[in-house]
A and B are shown apart, each in its own frame.
Chain A
């Protein structure tokens, strides 16, 4: 009887229990082999968007690092300002137009509409059912982990290597880009490579909580597609040891490519080329890479 009471007590305790967590509350670094892409849908009048950026920059990027170089993150992030949202409209207080035609096409692909509450994010374009690839900010960390680590918390092997080659003429602001893909492990299905330009350190107003920050620094802003918004097909089977290259592409940093790249614009130092390979059937991104347009 006494034993039975003890058993019942243990069951009740386990049933009605509490876990008190003591500081420090954060875990440590996690090394990963692959690199993933977070497509963050944001807007200058979105008051919760800067907090979403801080989650990526202050929590996710320092936690998930590259196993070959822990000073580098295993996450690339790009900020897309969807024209489908009222929060990206320009006005007297928020005069800078971050929207672009190709980022709007990507937003269409994600199903962004007037009714979409921002911020939202795509993590390697994983789907959560019913074609929805948009996730709330507090789900991103688990999705990133699932993309980078296996069930035993070991790094998932990288299947392809993407190398981006750039050649910049700073006088004419002309960039020549090409990419090479090396297959490390066999991949089934059809794949596409998409390349785009993103820009850091754009100073423009942003709502942050209840405040309007006049000189907010906007980083990782999507500027223009290099090979269409959805990229181009990779024309070989990605079997181990194979190599595939794109043709050379030319981008001129002028208003034809982005309305903000006027003659006065001078922020070449803060521009990057980002490339990612995705499966055209599932839409899921296999690997991503980022490179400054100035050769390091």
Chain B
């Protein structure tokens, strides 16, 4: 691999003796955070945490070379980032790309369909980096057929055999099996309209993928499969304003820590339909997931070694109080639905006002899947058995989550816009067990009502200096968990500077903690500098249905991001 890199660099260096030197691009992020003790919110005193990464990409004609330098120092305990302590280069690749082939050697990220059986990605805020290290070939024999074949091992933080600060990326290894941890995959996407039905006004795309992982059977108690395969097929049909997408996956027996070493097959179905016309959009979908946790290490936990990704079927919330009770996708079993309706009341009508009014409604829910014991002597999910029987069409006993979102957005005049939101959440923390609790408190079903009013104000000013202000008032009402919350935010932007102050006040909590923060920052082009002092609550931080538990903290944070 190293030799190949040198050869390609040499070829490029010979080429650049001509006039074209190629181009370098990249981005940089650096974070620095201090931690002071705050007994009221449960924040502890930790050493200063520094983290950052630098992506560098060099492109010359059909060849791209990329690398990422990554560093974490003093990751706080309980943050889920401790395993990333150290510095090194976990990501480097060489790619050759033409109209027909695209070959990548080294690290790469990819996704097939919705990711039901294969998706690798990088999200440093979640502590996710399951990049593949190997070889990928993308082949387009003719327009309309797109084929991908890949093989490699997934990165998991750093190599744990090395106690030095400078690290090598962590990959699975077994001296008796060089294929241990190897993930291999094949994917084909066919656009029928490009190949056969060129005159049709109905567009049909079909796709199929197969993914297999190899892992040594090192388990002395159970016989476990050394090769686990998963198959995915999907179809997307669209005509006029409507589209239907169906994605189905199956996986053979894959006993693991996630499914308590049971030997059931897995399957997953995601079906969505959308309709849109001017001023109206409707999207609806159903999802059923059974035993679809798929990792290249059967003992993996949290974000380790995930090969696939279960798409969330809930609205991705951004408002602070709406993120308190999130829903994490349940790869072991969930069954849910979602409907999203957007309607714009036309402008210059009695209801719509001068500029029109936007209304969006979102409803989503998720249940357990139906489960019955495989026989009278075996418990549900008992280790070393098939685990359970399940009726595909039957909903399970317990509701896990439900959310209703109603958002009304109205522009009052050229300088003022209001967005009002109402959210009703049911979070079954009794089963999900994801919320921190107080002493003597039990996990329970949480019912919460959230009201949010956001205002966006443009402040008229002379010259080229732009000024604007944004405010948020939020309230969360619940009789469960930590009780009621109130929140206020004011943000002021002047030219490239911004200043903000916010306070989240948990006045239903026995300690009545305030989580205030004050921030300031400067943006110039693709560069941003931000300084924050404040408190962060303990809880789940989620992106796209994937969550990381964050500890309570109190202190300064500095963030620098730059792209070039």
Out of B186, B221, B225, B253, name the residue touching A16 (CB < 8 Å). Answer: B186
* Interface residue stretch chosen among B108-116, B254-262, B507-515: B254-262
- Size bracket of the A interface: 35 or more
The A139-174 residues at the B interface (CB cut-off 8 A) are: 139, 141-142, 144-145
* Interface residue stretch chosen among B226-234, B311-319, B455-463, B482-490: B226-234
Question: Once A and B bind, how many residue pairs between them come within 8 Å at the CB atom?
Answer: 107
The A105-148 residues at the B interface (CB cut-off 8 A) are: 113-116, 128-131, 136-139, 141-142, 144-145
A27 to chain B: closest CB distance in Å?
6
Q: Which residues of B contact A89 (CB under 8 A)?
A: 439
B370 to chain A: closest CB distance in Å?
18
How far does the alpha carbon of A52 sit from the alpha carbon of B200 in the complex, in Å? 59
Out of A25, A60, A128, A136, name the residue touching B255 (CB < 8 Å). Answer: A25
Q: Is B181 at the interface (CB under 8 A from chain A)?
A: no
A136 and B301 contact, CB distance less than 8 A: yes
Q: Which residues of A contact B163 (CB under 8 A)?
A: 129-131
Q: Is A21 at the interface (CB under 8 A from chain B)?
A: yes
Q: Is A59 at the interface (CB under 8 A from chain B)?
A: yes
A27 and B252 contact, CB distance less than 8 A: no
Q: Which residues of B contact A144 (CB under 8 A)?
A: 220
A50 to chain B: closest CB distance in Å?
12
B298 to chain A: closest CB distance in Å?
8
B503 to chain A: closest CB distance in Å?
26
- Size bracket of the B interface: 35 or more
The A55-73 residues at the B interface (CB cut-off 8 A) are: 55, 59-60, 63-64
B186 and A129 contact, CB distance less than 8 A: no
Q: Is B431 at the interface (CB under 8 A from chain A)?
A: yes
Q: Which residues of A contact B430 (CB under 8 A)?
A: 210
Q: Mark B18-54, 1 if CB is under 8 A from A, else 0.
A: 0000000000000000000000000010000000000
B229 and A60 contact, CB distance less than 8 A: no
B299 and A20 contact, CB distance less than 8 A: no
A18 and B212 contact, CB distance less than 8 A: yes
B227 and A93 contact, CB distance less than 8 A: no
B222 and A17 contact, CB distance less than 8 A: no
Q: Is A92 at the interface (CB under 8 A from chain B)?
A: yes
B260 and A93 contact, CB distance less than 8 A: no
Q: Is B433 at the interface (CB under 8 A from chain A)?
A: yes
Q: Is A91 at the interface (CB under 8 A from chain B)?
A: yes
Q: Mark B171-193, 1 if CB is under 8 A from A, else 0.
A: 00000000000001010000000
Q: Which residues of B contact A142 (CB under 8 A)?
A: 218-220
Q: Is A51 at the interface (CB under 8 A from chain B)?
A: yes
- A15-B212, A16-B212, A210-B430 known; A63 and B221 CB under 8 Å? yes
Q: Is A281 at the interface (CB under 8 A from chain B)?
A: no
The A1-33 residues at the B interface (CB cut-off 8 A) are: 15-21, 23, 25-27, 30
Closest 3 CB pairs of A and B: A115-B78, A129-B160, A18-B229
